């Protein structure tokens, strides 16, 4: 194998190692973001439920009566 081929192979191995490292870092970042999204989704669901409960409590009880013109 010539020196040029060895240099080319070395550069390819370095590039591959760097790409594997970056892929691993990106995968870890995505996993962390997914956990954050799930946590935020649960909080949003809880807040939506609380909002609906408060909205129901705040609704005035309107008595069913005949209008004054009847």
Q: Cβ neighbours of residue 9 under 8 Å, at least 6 residues apart? A: 1
Predicted confidence (pLDDT) per residue in 15-48, tens digit: 999 999 999 999 999 999 999 999 999 999 999 9
* pLDDT value of position 58: 83
- For residues 56 and 69, the model is more confident at 56
Half-sphere exposure of 59 (CA within 13 A, CB side): 9
**What are the C-alpha distances in Å from 50 to residues 3, 7, 13, 55?**
70, 64, 56, 8
* pLDDT value of position 56: 86
Per the structure block, which two tokens stand in for 66? 């005949």
pLDDT at 51 over 80: yes
* pLDDT value of position 59: 79
pLDDT at 70 over 80: no
Give this prediction's pTM.
0.63
């Amino acid at each position: 194998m010539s020196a040029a081929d060895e240099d080319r192979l070395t550069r390819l191995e370095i590039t591959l190692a760097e790409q594997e490292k970056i892929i691993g870092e990106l995968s870890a970042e995505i996993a962390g973001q997914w956990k954050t999204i799930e946590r935020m989704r649960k909080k949003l669901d809880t807040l939506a439920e609380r909002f609906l409960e408060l909205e129901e409590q705040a609704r005035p009880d309107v008595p069913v009566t005949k209008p004054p013109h009847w």
